[in-house]
Amino acid sequence: MTEAVRADGSRWGAASRDAVRRRSLGGACLAHGLHDGYTDLLYVLLPVWQAEFGLGYAGLAVLRSLYYATMGGLQVPADRLAARWPIRASLAVSTLVAAAGFVVMALSGSLFGLCAGLVLAGIGASLQHPRASLLVAQAYGDAARGPLGIYNFAGDLGKALFPVVVALLLGVLAWRPVAGLMAGIGLVAALALVLVLPRGTLAAAPARAGRGHGERPGFPLLMTVGALDTATRMGTLLFLPFLLEAKGGTGATTGLALALVFIGGAFGKAVCGWLGERLGIVPCVVATETATALGIAALLVLPLGPTLVVLPLLGLVLNGTSSVLYGTVPDLAPRGDVGRAFALFYTAVIGSGGLAPIAYGALGDRAGAGVGLLSAAATALVIVPLVLRLRRPLAACDQDRVQD
């Protein structure tokens, strides 16, 4: 079994190992929930910025991309920069920098200041994903897939909570004080991370030859699967409101539908990580992607009422696959560099999340929302033969584990 050790090489006592794991997972979940919440609360602020600065939709897209592209594009260099830092310090600093971005937004009196704050917040967010994922992977070793699913689930909780809080606050405050309050939450979270996370960098003693010796040819394929899974999710969410409208739904119906998808997705991320651990990675992904394709196709033929019933189940498989894939990154990390592997993987999925809506949107403009949804379902099915090709490298990892 992989045993956690301190940065100086001394081992954590057996009695405290479970406490160290809980504190590591709790801190990683706190960081993920905060940073993902920061990311999605921007959607609530876009209409306010549009009214204040007279921006069109293209301008709003640029504003969002300042944060999103910075966060995605800096995953690898930020992880490399922080590779020698204690993970505890990395997560606290990343949260402080993200909070500082919201301070700049709160104090800005111009569009330039807003843009500078978004970029600074994106820089802070770029460090969280690879470092927090590595923390969980190292704390739990070979049993990390389930805890990584919980870490993934925590991000969805942040996505659900922060936009609602910001929307309520905007009813009584201007957006700049609201941004200041968000910065304050970030500062409190950074302090909490310092108090909660174990001291010293957690380093996992090599548990298998595959992590520390040679290349695993399946990692590029795993990144491709992750990017396509993200593309499927983005395409489905892009066209879902228009499909509901065509079925007679209202704006309130769309809000309910998205809530049902996200609730199902949050539980899917928590559950599918554990299922992947018990049923196997490949069978679990094949099942979730096939169910996703069938669920998307069902949306096209069902009336409005049954569609709403199906949406939580669709959300479960639509979002749940990602937990299985994240949990597989340590197994296939090139040269055993798990931190860099997470940074590369998140770069691929975040990049797909930015580009896929553009491609699906262009197709939808030409052929309609129905064809766009079918293309998303087809993308899910494309994943099935690709993930089947992961059986050999994953079997090699399992063999290494048995030998060790």
Q: Looking at mean pLDDT, say which of 73-82, 245-254, 318-327 comes out highest.
A: 318-327
Average pLDDT over residues 388-402: 71
Q: Which CATH architecture has domain 209-403?
A: Up-down Bundle (1.20)
d(CA 366, CA 359): 11
| DSSP letter, residue 206 | P
Average pLDDT over residues 371-395: 88
> Could you tell me which of 21, 259, 340 has the C-alpha nearest to residue 150?
21
Higher-pLDDT residue of 237, 399:
237
Q: Residues of the chain with pLDDT > 90: what percent? A: 22
Contacts of 32 (CB under 8 A, 6+ apart): 128, 129, 132, 151, 152, 154, 155, 158
How many DSSP H helices and E strands does the chain contain?
Answer: 15, 2
Average pLDDT over residues 346-358: 80
Q: Looking at mean pLDDT, say which of 24-28, 54-58, 204-208, 320-324 comes out highest.
A: 24-28
User: If DSSP codes are grouped into helix, strand and coil, which group holds residue 4?
Assistant: strand
Higher-pLDDT residue of 237, 379:
379
Q: What is the pLDDT of residues 242-268, one digit of tens each?
A: 888 888 877 677 767 877 887 888 788
pLDDT at 191 over 80: yes
pLDDT of residue 57: 58
d(CA 130, CA 151): 12
Distance of CA 290 to the CA centre of its chain: 21
pLDDT of residue 211: 43
pLDDT at 13 over 90: no
Grade residue 183 by pLDDT with cuts at 50, 70 and 90.
Answer: very high
pLDDT at 215 over 60: no
pLDDT at 11 over 70: no
User: Could you tell me the two tokens for 13?
Assistant: 């006592």
- The CATH code for residues 4-204 is 1.20.1250.20
pLDDT of residue 9: 43
Query: Would you say 299 and 313 are in contact if contact means Cβ atoms under 8 Å apart?
Result: no
Q: Looking at mean pLDDT, say which of 71-75, 146-150, 173-177, 358-362 comes out highest.
A: 173-177
Average pLDDT over residues 55-82: 76
Domain range annotation of the chain = 4-204, 209-403
pTM above 0.85, yes or no: no
pLDDT of residue 118: 92
Q: Looking at mean pLDDT, say which of 46-60, 237-251, 274-288, 302-316 comes out highest.
A: 302-316
Place of tokens 């009584």: 172
Contacts of 251 (CB under 8 A, 6+ apart): none
9-28 exposure pattern, b = at least 16 Cβ within 10 A, e = fewer: eeebeeeeeeebbebbbbbb
Higher-pLDDT residue of 252, 193:
193
pLDDT at 110 over 70: yes
